Structure 1
């Protein structure tokens, strides 16, 4: 049976700081040439959580035609699926089509997008430090602790209903997904990035995205984990690794997440378009219509946006 990392209960102040540091993954490509690396890892060696800042993705992206040597055995089916609390209000299902925005005539550093689900965020088109999405809710009001891991994770209300249904269906199929990261504020991203520069100054640029350039600030992104990952990677304390795609949870999400409106933001071999390395655990809610279109077309949301939408803002001079 795969092992999962056991976390000790911390005092609230330390927990909040740890959460900010914990969630600094989903990082961009390195500025200089990097032969083989992922968004939050640089070498093929895994990084132990006990010796470096926690929650780090490691490992080398698989070759263009990899295939798991054997499908991991799914855990036994659960007898019950998580359900939202009785007090939770119904989740609306707005259109995923972008609405007109005035941001196109201002600097990206001043950009405060609306509430549509297709706001573009790349290493070119960022968000203001003042941007905070509307309708953030804590996931512990909708999902059990074995899914949230006790983290104070938030997500926009519009994505919670589809997420709860998707996790319930995964559990009904005998899987055990859990959530490592959700909404991350500008300041939380800045703190995490600074921590990486203190701990890993030569590699911080590919360990953590710059503040304002992470999709997590939109409040519609979830980083998933799998209890199978330690066994697949061969390291007990690992949480993020590109080999997530080999786990039962990773394979199920790759095949089915679009049916619930979630899309993989940074697919393999999309680095030149997205600017981010392969992140098989990073899924963004964009609505069923758009997610299905992207899945069937075999393209990333960023590729669609850059081809179909005008520039959302004026990039700041570096």
Structure 2
């Protein structure tokens, strides 16, 4: 609510709340705060025992559950832990999509294989995981040493296939520490495409950021009109631009362990530029250097990045 974000996920085991309230109390509180809730479900086809279980597998129980969700003001679900790519599993995906449409629900398929174009038929399919994302700072040390080059590879590989629920932009450390800069983490919100861009850090992680960064997160678009790869090489670096309305958002990621200067050529922008705001790396990994750039002096801007650093540039048009 503080960041004016439209949705909030209530994650696994909401069916076991026992600390003075239940999920219906949580849904009522979300409505009071004018935040639309999303609920997590186990696909109940895999190895994990987190609940709720077995509510989506059969048509009759699934439709009963979806009707209840719609009546409670829930706007979508995240379905997790699909175990395989079999025909029966593919049919299960489609069955969920078909029934959800009847009850006006969105879906994010997590613990799932890469998307296969279903969003063209079912526009309420917002995103699919199918990627090593930020949760792997938490589950194992998978991203501790590889995050930066991994993040600079995904725009050329996995994210080309379709929307990707990486759960980007986590500033604070979990079980395994970040080696990427805060500028790098912020840039993931633009570099990675997902119709539901799932911010997954602790609330205090976002509240601790400078006011300009908090404002950027609050106003980030959910729909892109155009995308351009300005420069890059897989695992090394990427500079990628996305347009929404009268603004271009340009993300730069350094995937190397060395300082790197990334060139941003704005000559592709048609028409006059009103202002340019740069959210760049500060002197330390967890700091920002926020600047207003002159749009009139030059069309190419060199942005210095820390090792495993990054930046976002917001270009507002007249």
Q: Give TM class, smaller chain.
A: under 0.3
**Larger-Rg structure:** 2
Which structure dedicates a bigger proportion of its chain to helix? 1
TM-score (norm. length: structure 1): 0.24
Which structure dedicates a bigger proportion of its chain to strand? 2
TM-score (norm. length: structure 2): 0.24
